[in-house]
Structure 1
Amino acid sequence: MTWTCPQCGRTSPGYDSRRRQWRHLDTCQYKTVLEAEVPRVQCAEHGVVTVAVPWAEPGSGFTALFEALVIDWLKEASIQAVARQLKLGWGAIDRVMQRAVKRGLKRRTTQSPEYLSVDETAFARRHEYVTVVTDQERGIVLHVADDRKTESLSAYYAELSGEQKANIRAVAMDMWPAYISATEAHIPQAREKIAFDKFHVANERGRSRGARGRRALAGEAAKVCRRRVIVARASRRPEAAGRAAAARSAYLPRVRMSPG
């Protein structure tokens, strides 16, 4: 009997078969497992390989329908919560998710977005970051990279053609210098296309005002300290008692008028 090699599609003679099991959707709330003898073929190019089955992906211990259930759950809850609900390990749920991502990327066609959004998100108790690039018009994630460095965003831009880069009309981001540098290095007329989100602009403006206010308060505090020094020095010299009294009269009203 002959079978098709799952890697190259070449018709190859059968070699043997192996018994395999796959977790399936529960039947009347009972755990259901499919079991079958899966043939292996002797491919001239790839050697002995297991034939692909229509109800599950190669290397998966779950049927396609069960993995679809897991993905639906992951849209509503975390990996840990889904693993607890389905009584599976965290790693099993994560592998189902990774296979789903690969399938989605394989189906994706060439994208030419006009409006991009670049942001970082923290995980692992905010000790690690990933850079996320999305298409603002369609709400599709285009790129995910480790960290929030210049290289994290440059890796996405490097995948685009010159025409795709020229087609970008705006890139929304926070005021992170690494993202600004990457965009200026790859996108034509980047300075005219970068748009900072209003939250970070307002936050930066507030910090700037706060800094000016702190500098002003520091200046007033320094003046008060200088007046105190003058009063203290003058009070030590009997001949300067008149000047000390005058300094006190000039200083004390200021103290009463100052807040706190």
Structure 2
Amino acid sequence: MHRAVERGMALRDSDELYKYVSIDEKAISRGHEYASILSDELSGIVIEVSKGRTKESVDNLCIKGLSEEQRGAVERICTDMWDPYIYAAKIIEKSETEKSKVIELRNR
């Protein structure tokens, strides 16, 4: 898995603006060890990876993985309803009155 992530991250352009992003987790070993992954929905390019699926790890994804300009360009976020990922969506979509409360949690 490490090589695949490295290949994906090598393909990314640090200045590219992403319209559609995805946040998901991947089990990295048996048990309950995870990595959180921020990727571009259109190309599948891995933007950032962070160990764990906690609020701190997704904070790292959003702040380290996307510049302020890139966060402002995001139009849609695809994610699980896991609390830290909802928190990440709010970080990314903070402008425009939290973009209608993250589109009312994507119309539930």
Match of 1:120 in 2: 25
Deviation at 1:113, TM superposition (A): 0.8
Change (3 A) 1:173 1:113: same
The one-letter code sitting in structure 2 at the alignment partner of 1:157 is C
Q: Across the two proteins, how many residue pairs are aligned to each other?
A: 100
Does 2:103 match 1:192?
yes
The one-letter code sitting in structure 1 at the alignment partner of 2:71 is K
| Paired-residue identity, % | 28
Deviations 1:66-100 (A, max 9, x none): xxxxxxxxxxxx8xxxxxxxxxxxxxxx7xx49x9
* Structure 2 spans left out of the alignment, 5+ residues: none
Match of 2:89 in 1: 183
Change (3 A) 1:121 1:178: same
Q: Is the 8 A contact 1:153 1:179 kept in 2?
A: yes
Q: Is the 8 A contact 1:131 1:148 kept in 2?
A: yes
User: Separation in 2 of the partners of 1:185 and 1:133?
Assistant: 13
Does 2:35 match 1:130?
yes
Counterparts of 1:167-182 in structure 2, within 5 Å, are 167-182=73-88
Deviation at 1:193, TM superposition (A): 8.2
Does 2:70 match 1:158?
no
Deviation at 1:133, TM superposition (A): 1.2
Change (3 A) 1:180 1:116: same
Q: Which one has more relative contact order, counting CA pairs under 8 Å at least 6 apart?
A: 2
Q: Is the 8 A contact 1:173 1:194 kept in 2?
A: no
* Structure 1 spans left out of the alignment, 5+ residues: 1-77, 79-93, 202-260
Give the TM-score, by structure 2 length: 0.73
Change (3 A) 1:193 1:134: farther
User: Separation in 1 of the partners of 2:35 and 2:46?
Assistant: 13
Match of 1:61 in 2: none
Does 2:49 match 1:144?
yes
User: Separation in 2 of the partners of 1:193 and 1:113?
Assistant: 22
Q: Is the 8 A contact 2:12 2:46 kept in 1?
A: no
SS class of match (2:91)? helix
The ranges of structure 1 where at least 4 consecutive aligned residues each deviate by more than 3 angstroms after the TM superposition are 193-196
SS class of match (1:180)? helix
